[in-house]
Amino acid sequence: MSSLVCSGGLDKSSKNGKKVVNSTNYVVPLDPSYSITSSCITRPLTEILRDLNKRVPDNVLRPGSPPSIPWYHANRMLSFYAPGWCGEIRDVIYTDNGNVTVVYRVTVRGSDGEAHRESTGTVSLSDSHIEDPVSTAEEMAFCRACARFGLGLYLLHEDELM
């Protein structure tokens, strides 16, 4: 079985002279009938965006106030509704006040073009409840970028809809 690899990340020099390492690779298995001459992206962006704005099944939501979608479910829903999507870490910023911020971009490709949304996630490096602050900030940024496409966005405003 073939696979389509979508890589992200920046390869630029940071302020301190160190290189930013590409740390995101998504591998999506391709159907055996896939050929290089035919596109695996067959739906227009309007259809993809409409589907991403659908209600998320209650059984995948993480309880809380408001409830949220775990990153792995957001990943699966993107793969289902927007095959060929890409995600990349655009920047990792360490601040003097002890926080780390991750800037994440999600790109959705359709038959008529592509669209991207970026968002950030910030966590404290000193929070003892967080084992890996960068990973946690990446998760937050990824889920927020997905919400900018409409995935689970209604969860943030559900109380206003009732």
Cα distances (angstroms) measured from residue 137 to each of 2, 50, 71, 111, 122: 32, 27, 11, 32, 5
Q: Average the pLDDT over each of 29-33, 93-97, 127-131, 132-136 and give the range with the smallest value.
A: 29-33
Q: Is the pLDDT of residue 81 over 90?
A: yes
Query: Which residues 6+ apart lie within 8 Å of 11 measured at CB?
Result: 19, 20, 22
Per-domain residue ranges for the chain? 41-161
pLDDT at residue number 35: 45
Q: Which CATH number fits domain 41-161: 3.30.390.80, 3.40.190.10, 3.10.105.10, 1.10.3720.10?
A: 3.30.390.80
How confident is the model over 29-63, as pLDDT tens digits? 445 554 444 445 579 999 999 999 999 999 999 99
- The pTM is what? 0.73
Mean pLDDT in the chain?
A: 80
pLDDT at residue number 24: 44
State how far the Cα of 120 lies from the Cα of 89, in Å rounded to an integer: 10
Dump the DSSP string for 38-57: S-S--S-HHHHHHHHTSPPP
pLDDT at residue number 158: 62
